[in-house]
Chain A
Amino acid sequence: MNKVLLLAEVLTVASAFIVAFHPNVLYASVFLLFTFCGVAAMFLFAGADFLAGAQVIIYVGGVTILILFAIMLTQWLYNIKLSDIRNKMLLPGVLAIAVGVFLYRALHQMVATLPPQTPEALEKFSSTPKTALIGQALLGSYLLPFEAITILLLGAMVGAVWLARPE
């Protein structure tokens, strides 16, 4: 089982590298799909079954397809050969590595302050279905953020339709 998790993490990281470095944005967005699938598998192994399903539906089925449509509606057909990456890579590279290392170190420090779970508790957490718990929490203690999100989604839908309207 743990080998599958390792495979998912390698898939995630490898395709994220291609997303960041491939000069053609079309191929980059196709590999973003594999990154999302890898992250969904990682969610599954972290006991987040509902989130893994939502990740596949929203990201793989929604966002990636939307991005591919946007690429094909704009520039892809006209200049497929054009490289989309800037020539200056040194400063962004150094900065990105610094941010990544800092983030890992800082979170590592934070981990030390929290008590770890026992193996039995981890096993129990992984084997509990989460859909009912998440539903109860969303309509219970998280009701206000939930309602705010619904208004945000409505606003985003209306805004997107208005922005993309014909002349």
Chain B
Amino acid sequence: MNHLIQFSSSLQGYLAVGAILFALGIFCVMTRKNAIGILLGIELILNAAGINFVAFSKFRTGLIDGQIVALFIMLIAAAEAAVALAVILRFYRLKQTIDADEASIMRN
């Protein structure tokens, strides 16, 4: 238990959480049929990247540049979520579904 607490507050602990979040995000993007579910996976992936930046900023460089990059990631994720949800609402009005497999208008 002590070992686990020690690990959780080290750089390796942060990297492990980031890697797990990234893997779960990839899994979520690949297995969901629902367009909103895919968006959830993308949010997990972006959060994993932010955790890694913040962890390296504290444990290795000692500068705040990593935190600023994490802030930019956060803002880009917010803009992306707003546009993606607008697209999903539009698509729902068109097709009465948000199944990503139905989005094949531009195929052939």
A interface with B by C-beta (< 8 Å): 2-3, 5-6, 9, 12-13, 16-17, 19-20, 25, 28-29, 32, 35-36, 39, 42-43, 45-48, 50-51, 54-55, 58-59, 62-63, 66-67, 69-71, 73-75, 84-86, 88-89, 91-93, 95-97, 99-101, 103-104, 107-108, 111, 114-117, 121-122, 125-126, 130, 133-134, 137-138, 142, 145, 149, 152-153, 155-157, 159-161, 163-164, 167
- Evaluate whether A133 and B89 lie within 8 angstroms (CB atoms) in the complex, with A63-B77, A99-B26, A104-B15 already known: no
B17 CB contact (under 8 Å) in A12, A84, A108: A12
Q: Give 11 A-B contacts (CB < 8 Å), ordered by A residue.
A: A9-B13, A32-B40, A42-B14, A62-B78, A84-B32, A92-B30, A96-B24, A114-B56, A130-B64, A134-B71, A156-B82
- Evaluate whether A145 and B72 lie within 8 angstroms (CB atoms) in the complex, with A85-B31, A125-B62 already known: yes
* Cβ-closest chain A residue relative to B26: A96
CB of B50, distance to nearest CB on chain A (Å): 7
A134 CB contact (under 8 Å) in B22, B34, B36, B68: B68
| Contact, CB under 8 Å: B67 / A107 | no
Q: Which residues of B contact A149 (CB under 8 A)?
A: 72, 75-76
Q: Which residues of A contact B25 (CB under 8 A)?
A: 16, 20
B74 CB contact (under 8 Å) in A17, A54, A89, A103: A54
Looking at chain B's contact residues, is the secondary structure mostly helix, strand, loop, or mixed? helix
B26 CB contact (under 8 Å) in A35, A95, A115, A159: A95
B interface with A by C-beta (< 8 Å): 4-6, 8-9, 11-28, 30-34, 36-37, 39-41, 43-44, 47, 50-52, 54-62, 64-65, 67-68, 70-72, 74-83, 85-90, 92-93, 97-98
